[in-house]
Copies of this chain bind each other. A is one copy, B any other.
């Protein structure tokens, strides 16, 4: 079994975990992975010029494999429209994934 897939990555604030999971779910994606992530976006830049490294509890990173690019863009559009005015976040796409095996996932 081999099939092309798009991988959508969304990094955003942790408090949005359940709301974004719901959007992914309702778009018809069969699953996703989420990990705790720290990092820095332009929101966190300190005037001291020092990079402010957040601890790894503040952000989350979703990875969603979707059968079509369209589904990934739809999820991304919806997440950005609902949350990216008020919360920091980034959504990006990689179109060259190939699913080798999947079981109950």
Chain A residues with CB under 8 Å of chain B are 5, 7-8, 11, 17-18, 21-22, 24-25, 30-43, 50-51, 53, 56, 59, 61, 65, 73, 76-77, 79-80, 84-85, 87-105
Q: How far is the CB of A54 from chain B (nearest CB, A)?
A: 8
Q: How far is the CA of A40 from the CA of B22 in the complex (A)?
A: 11
Q: How far is the CA of A101 from the CA of B11 in the complex (A)?
A: 11
- Tell me the number of copies of this protein: 3
Neighbour of A100 across the interface among B24, B43, B73, CB < 8 A: B73
Neighbour of A39 across the interface among B32, B38, B42, B90, CB < 8 A: B32
Q: What are the residues of chain B within 8 A of A103 when measuring CB–CB?
A: 80, 84-85, 87-90
Q: What are the residues of chain B within 8 A of A33 when measuring CB–CB?
A: 11, 37-39, 59, 61
Interface centre among A22, A51, A102, A105 (most CB of B within 10 A): A105
| Sampled A-B contacts (23; CB under 8 Å) | A7-B94, A11-B33, A17-B53, A18-B51, A24-B51, A25-B51, A30-B41, A31-B39, A31-B42, A31-B90, A32-B39, A35-B35, A42-B104, A43-B105, A65-B90, A80-B101, A89-B102, A90-B101, A91-B100, A92-B98, A93-B100, A94-B94, A95-B98
